[in-house]
């Protein structure tokens, strides 16, 4: 009789421990999902801002009545600006589409894989932005300035802008490369776990 009572007590303890483990796993999963959803919402807001930004820029230009001098330098600046900005805009739309594909009802491994793909796309976008930003600044200056006036102050300003972007590119190039390697390794591990 005592042995069966002891077995029943141990069985109840095992059931209670199993239930506690299940509840703890569910709680951890909910916490991780909420954290990921908050990060995803921030990224969605940022992506929406970049997708809407051309329309806001056009609205600002129309409301402020900025006067452009339609000279050769304006058209050179416009020819540099439009293709690069269009290319960056297409990347932002792709990024937004990837954000919309994330669904937290999917398995955890596929969610982590999609987050890794998002991070990889974001790193590529940042790298491209750093490479083309000096060209965009020169294009904007060509469109806004009435004529090319190469005074000492203007040349110093251009050198400072170029120096900041070269320094930023040098700094982020190595950190982006390291993050790419880490993300690629994480994606490979996730793919091996899914098989």
Amino acid 176: pLDDT:
63
CA angle, 96 then 190 then 113, to 5°: 10
Q: What is the pTM for the complete model shown?
A: 0.65
41-45, 94-98, 104-108, 142-146 — most confident range: 94-98
Long-range contacts of 63-70 (CB under 8 A, 24+ apart): 66/144, 68/143, 68/144, 69/146, 69/147
Asked if 78 and 139 touch (Cβ cutoff 8 Å), the reply is yes
Question: Could you write out the DSSP letters of every residue in 77-90?
Answer: HHHHHHHHHHHHHH
Residue 147's φ and ψ, nearest 5 degrees, are -150, 160
pLDDT at 181 over 70: no
Backbone angles phi, psi at 103, to 5 degrees: -130, 125
120 within 8 A of 183, measured Cβ to Cβ: yes
**pLDDT tens readout for residues 26-78:** 776 666 566 667 777 877 888 888 889 888 888 887 888 777 777 787 888 88
- Taking the C-alpha atoms of residue 192 and residue 66, their distance in angstroms, rounded to an integer, is 56
Paired tokens of 161: 């802008």
Q: Between residues 101 and 150, which one has the greater pLDDT?
A: 101
Alpha helices in the chain (DSSP H): 2-64, 72-100, 108-144, 152-194
Please enumerate in sequence order all residues whose Cβ is within 8 A of that of 36, keeping only pairs 6 or more positions apart, or say none. Answer: 104, 111, 115
Q: Say which residues have a Cβ less than 8 Å from residue 186's Cβ, sequence separation at least 6.
A: 112, 116
């Amino acid at each position: 009789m005592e042995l069966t009572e002891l077995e029943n007590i141990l069985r109840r303890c095992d059931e209670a421990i199993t239930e506690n483990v299940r509840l703890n796993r569910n709680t951890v999963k909910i916490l991780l999902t909420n954290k990921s959803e908050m990060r995803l919402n921030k990224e969605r807001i940022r992506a929406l801002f970049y997708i809407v930004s051309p329309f806001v820029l056009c609205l600002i230009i129309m409301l402020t009545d900025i006067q452009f001098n339609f000279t050769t330098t304006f058209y050179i600046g416009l020819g540099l600006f439009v293709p690069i900005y269009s290319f960056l805009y297409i990347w932002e739309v792709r990024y937004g589409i990837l954000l919309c594909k994330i669904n937290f009802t999917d398995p955890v491994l596929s969610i982590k894989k999609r987050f890794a793909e998002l991070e990889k796309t974001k790193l590529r976008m940042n790298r491209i932005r750093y490479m083309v930003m000096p060209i965009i600044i020169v294009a904007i200056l060509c469109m806004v300035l009435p004529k090319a006036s190469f005074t000492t102050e203007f040349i110093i300003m251009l050198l400072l802008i170029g120096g900041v972007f070269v320094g930023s590119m040098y700094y982020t190039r190595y950190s982006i490369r390291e993050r790419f390697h880490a993300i690629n390794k994480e994606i490979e591990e996730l793919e091996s776990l899914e098989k």
